[in-house]
Amino acid sequence: MGIQKRNPGFRVAAYGLARNDDNRRSDGNRSLFFFGAVCLLLFLLHSSSTHSDMHSDLTAIQSTLHPQFTPPAPGTYSLPPIDTITDHHLLDATGNPVALFDAAAGKIAIISFMYTSCAEVGGCPLAATVLQQIDQMLVKRPELARQVTLVSLSFDAERDSPQRMAVARHALAPRTDWHFLTTTDATALQSVLSDFDQPVAKLWNEDGSWSGLFRHVLKVYLVDTQHQIRNIYSTGLFSAQLVVNDIETILMESTKHSHSGKP
């Protein structure tokens, strides 16, 4: 029957309410957590064993990094537009203003909302790891890479300064067109989040102080050159090959006909 018994397992959306005794120190530790989590995920990514002796909680992350299915072939399915986004004024990792549409510049964009203090391994660190996988796949396919841009966009306007996004960029060492963007302030951030329908909320301690964490539903957006959202990925069905196949599906479609806006 293909049925195996396992221990009670992984919960996709686990949130913690950390104490907030020293903001600066805890921020630093959380940034390290993010990169540590990325390291962990990269370890899992390059681990060939599917019978990991690590805790079974990691199984779901493993299944994202090593999918148990073969994604449908490019062009064999359709991705009807879900919504259309507008342009937004952001900051790049050098601190220069940049418009989102200029960052995408006529390319298909993979836009991942994240924050560098994320303490949920199956959230932002997982998204960053999958984006890095995509980056590595694109390196091997320069023709395709020219038509794609990756965007990691922070929803932590307070702490994720351009400098911190530059650290993230350095740690992830992109080899293709991968932008690390943040917003100037909470107002600009709100505009972006509303446009993308990306729920983000601060998690509060019982004493009313901010835990330093956000509740967020992991969403990664596939946006075509006409600024239409064509797919939204979340934990469980977000593999690099799946995203690359979706990109190719859109590119194949645009070679056949200009898109009408209706499925």
Partner 1 sequence: MRQFARRWRLALGALGVAVAFVMSGREIHADETCQSPYLPKITGQEDYLYVWTLGAEGVGDGSDKLATIGANPAKQDQYGKVLSSVSVGGRHEAHHGGFNDDRRYLWLGGLDDSKIFIFDVASNPAKPTLTKTIDTFVKDSGGVVGPHTFYPLPGRMLITGLSNDKDHGGKTGMVEYSNEGKYIQTLWMPDNAPYGYDVRVQPHLNRMLTSSFTGWNNYMMDFGQMVADKEAMKRFGQTMVLWDFHARKPIQTFEVPGAPLEVRWALQPRHDYAFTATALTSKLWLIAQKADGTFEAKDVGNIGDPTKIPLPVDMSLSADDQTLFVNTFMDGMCRVYNVGDPTKPKVIHEQKIGAQVNMVSQTWDGKRVYFTSSLLANWDKKGDANEQFLKVYTWDGKALKPTFTVDFTKENLGRPHIMHFGQEQFYKNQIYTEQKADSAKVASR
In angstroms, rounded to a whole number, what is the distance separating the alpha carbons of residues 203 and 125?
18
Quick one: DSSP state of residue 208?
A: S
Q: Which is nearer to partner 1, 39 or 139 (CB)?
A: 39
Instruction: State the minimum distance, in angstroms, from the CB of residue 148 to partner 1.
Output: 19
Output DSSP code: residue 99: E
Q: Which is nearer to partner 1, 13 or 139 (CB)?
A: 13
Nearer to partner 1, 142 or 263 (CB): 263
- In the complex with partner 1, the residue whose CB is nearer, 175 or 202, is 202
CB of 138 to partner 1, least distance (A): 20
Q: How far apart are CA 244 and CA 174, in angstroms?
A: 16
CA distances from 82 to 113, 151, 216, 230 (A): 18, 19, 20, 6
Nearer to partner 1, 97 or 199 (CB): 199
Beta pairing class for 89-91 and 178-181: unpaired
Q: Rounded CA gap, 148 and 106, in Å?
A: 9
Rounded to the nearest whole angstrom, what is the least distance from the CB of residue 89 to partner 1 in the complex? 18
Per-residue three-class SS string for 43-87: HHHHCCCCCCCCCHHHHHHHHHHCCCCCCCCCCCCCCCCCEECCC
